[in-house]
Chain A
Amino acid sequence: QVQLMQSGAEVKPPGSSVRVSCEASGGTFSNFSFTWVRQAPGHGLEWMGRIIPNVDITTYSQKFRGRVTVTADQSTRTAYMELRRLKSEDSAFYYCARETVATFIDYWGQGTLVTVSS
């Protein structure tokens, strides 16, 4: 059974950066992509970007391009999402998930709450 375990909640000041990790256990790691989705409290799901670890290819939402970087470490089966130049509007739950591109997103992490506040 695939499990995705994310890092804990973060409180960050405006203008700083946050890095969220996502460790995969069970199943294969490299053959899938790892996608990042955020959800502000009371709002819908918003896709940020993905990485395909075995070819190190990334794709980003136009909204976040230039401000987000997604990476993966195959040796530790961990994906990372870094968001820079944080604003209060970036306060949200951030989810990593396993994606088979153009087919489904089948496993989700538990979410990491990022609060941007001075």
Chain B
Amino acid sequence: SYELTQPPSVSVSPGQTASITCSGDKLRNKNICWYQQKPGQSPLLVIYEDNKRPSGIPDRFSGSTSGDTATLTISGTQAMDEADYYCQTWDSSTSVVFGGGARLTVL
């Protein structure tokens, strides 16, 4: 089965840039989404089709893919960005696949 691998945790200082990676086989050929989930809340779509932002998502959130690694970048990280972040794609049978999630801590 297809797998996506994320680091369990990422730390960043306020105002700095946070990068959260997601790796998977031939990921460059797949559409990638990123979701933010804060405690007690449902996931929120922040990036889709690798690098597009839904309406209402601040432009400090961006996405990119290089080779088999996708990266969610948060520029000028704020305390409110502290959350769990999940990458997601679809496998060859259109089943949804999530990464294990990365906890972003803003120190």
Contact residues of A with B, CB < 8 Å?
Answer: 35, 37, 44-47, 50, 59, 61-62, 95, 97, 99, 101-106, 108-111
Contacts and interface: CB of A to CB of B under 8 A. Distances in A.
B45 interface: yes
Return the 10 tightest CB-CB contacts between A and B, nearest first.
A47-B96, A104-B48, A108-B42, A44-B101, A45-B98, A44-B100, A102-B90, A104-B33, A106-B45, A45-B86
Interface of B: 1, 31, 33, 35, 37, 42-45, 48-49, 54, 84, 86, 88, 90, 93-101
Nearest to B100: A44
B62 to A, nearest CB: 16
Nearest to B54: A106
A44 B98 contact: yes
A105 B35 CA distance: 9
Secondary structure at chain A's binding surface: helix, strand, loop or mixed? strand
B100 to A, nearest CB: 5
A103 B94 contact: no
B61 to A, nearest CB: 14
Contacts of B45: 104-106
Contacts of A44: 84, 86, 98-101
B51 to A, nearest CB: 12
Given A62-B1, A108-B42, A108-B43, A102 B31 contact: yes
Contact of A59 (B1, B84, B95, B98): B95
A106 B43 CA distance: 9
A34 B54 CA distance: 19
A47 B97 contact: yes
B54 A103 contact: no
Given A50-B96, A106-B48, 13 more contacts: A37-B98, A44-B86, A44-B100, A44-B101, A45-B43, A47-B97, A59-B95, A97-B43, A101-B94, A104-B33, A104-B48, A105-B43, A106-B54
10 contacts: A44-B84, A44-B100, A47-B96, A59-B95, A61-B96, A62-B1, A62-B95, A97-B43, A105-B33, A110-B42
